[in-house]
Amino acid sequence: MSIAINRQRLADYFTTLAETSSPSREEKQVADYLRQTFTALGADFIHEDDSAAQTGSGTGNLIIRFTGSTDAPPIFFACHMDTVKPGHNVQVKRDGDIFTSKGDTVLGGDDKSGIAPLIELINLLKENKTAHRTIELVFTTCEEIGLRGAKALDHRQLQATFGYALDSTGVDKIIIAAPAANKVRIDVHGTASHAGLNPEAGVNALLIAAQAITKLRIGRIDDESTANIGVIEGGVATNIVPEHLFLKGEVRSHSMTKLDAYTDEMRRHFVDTAADWPIPPESEARRPTVTFTVESDYPAMRLGETDQVLETARTAARKLDRQLSFVIGGGGSDANVFNSFGLATAILATGMNEVHTTDECLDLNDMVRLTELLYAIVTE
């Protein structure tokens, strides 16, 4: 089986999408463009959910359906419409098959290198009148600022129970697992005093934090878990013993049990350090305290070897004489959230490269390969 991808058309879709700037919360123009494009291509159903109220975006998520005629179960493909910054006024440079930005913005291949192949896919199905299964397209907002669109997605509108997020670097790669993450914030409260006149009356919040940090396990904790402290802020002046400071960090693990254990270990080190802090009996200083706040950032995902979503991708790749590499991921994305809704979701690579930098680039041939794979999946 082979289908001739219209390379120029695919390149044009990508360029138009990339040059329709869409930093997080500013996805409306892209959403309008997609609505228009898929309406013209004969979509049976276009739904904008009411997530905008929760995300603060100018648009909700979009769910678009092309009803199929084969017996194969419905399937969905998901991409996020937003990009990171600098993402305003993106101008695409094309050199042969390679796309880059002009150098002062990201390119936005994350995630428009997934969206363009989806538009090309529907074009191919229409013009070849190819029989296909029901296809649902999900376009989310605010992925880059905490998966907010996906978390608020009106997923009950979907008929499909499994699908793919097109959102990863690499080629012919499929991500089948990703860790869960907790975000933590630690507030350390000591007692302020004049550092020169009366240091004895103070309890230095910074010293407590420093001592606690030396006890933490930071970096790669085991083969499926990591931890980090990424932000420290506090203190007022050089002559004041700092009363308050806060730290922000995260813990990630593929195991929810370990995630909880490592998060609690971090909490205990701070709480115990404050509790054991020596305060001289004659001092008027208060006993230091720690407030440790945990917010679940996203849940883990792990697909089974024999899950339909992986079996379908494997079969499609075989039709194309390709080998997909099945990979364990280290980051969180919309797919984590979809999986938590009970929608088995794997992540397909789009060829995006050097993402989240102004050096971002993309090879048209990688988008062509992805489009061929999508075509094989829906016509299986």
Structure tokens at 242: 């700092």
Which of left, alpha, beta for 89 (phi over 0: left; psi -120 to 50: alpha)?
A: left
User: Residues near 38 by Cβ (< 8 Å), separated by ≥ 6?
Assistant: 46, 64, 119, 122, 137
Specify the stretch interacting with Zn ion by CB under 5 A; choose among 8-16, 81-89, 102-110, 213-221: 102-110
Specify the stretch interacting with Zn ion by CB under 5 A; choose among 104-112, 238-246, 273-281, 341-349: 104-112
If the CB atoms of residues 220 and 356 are measured against Zn ion, the closer one turns out to be 356
Q: Using CA atoms, how far apart are residues 85 and 26, in angstroms rounded to an integer?
A: 11
If the CB atoms of residues 27 and 110 are measured against Zn ion, the closer one turns out to be 110
If the CB atoms of residues 31 and 227 are measured against Zn ion, the closer one turns out to be 31
User: Residues near 261 by Cβ (< 8 Å), separated by ≥ 6?
Assistant: none
Catalytic option among 26, 27, 120, 143: 143
Q: Is 144 annotated as a binding residue?
A: yes
DSSP 73: P
Beta bridge partners, 225, equal 222, 253
State in angstroms the smallest separation of the CB of 79 from Zn ion.
Answer: 8
Map tokens 């013993």 to a residue.
Answer: 241
Residue 110 touching Zn ion (CB under 5 A): yes
Q: Using CA atoms, how far apart are residues 109 and 168, in angstroms rounded to an integer?
A: 10
> Alpha carbon of 341 to those of 59, 156, 260, 265, 293: distances in Å?
22, 9, 21, 29, 25
368 residue type, one letter: V
State in angstroms the smallest separation of the CB of 344 from Zn ion.
Answer: 19
DSSP 53: H
If the CB atoms of residues 110 and 360 are measured against Zn ion, the closer one turns out to be 110
State in angstroms the smallest separation of the CB of 223 from Zn ion.
Answer: 25
Number of residues that bind Zn ion (CB under 5 A): 3
Residues 157-186 that bind Zn ion (CB under 5 A): 167
State in angstroms the smallest separation of the CB of 254 from Zn ion.
Answer: 20
H helical segments located in 276-331:
308-319
Residues 42-101 that bind Zn ion (CB under 5 A): none
State in angstroms the smallest separation of the CB of 99 from Zn ion.
Answer: 16
How many residues can be counted in the chain? Answer: 380
Q: Is 167 annotated as a binding residue?
A: yes
83 residue type, one letter: T
Cβ atoms 114, 198 nearer than 8 A: no
State in angstroms the smallest separation of the CB of 360 from Zn ion.
Answer: 12
For residue 225, give the nearest of 249, 264, 251 by alpha carbon.
Answer: 251
143 assigned to active site: yes
DSSP 316: H
Annotated binding site for Zn(2+): 110, 144, 167
The residues binding Zn ion (CB under 5 A) are 110-111, 167
Catalytic residue IDs: 143
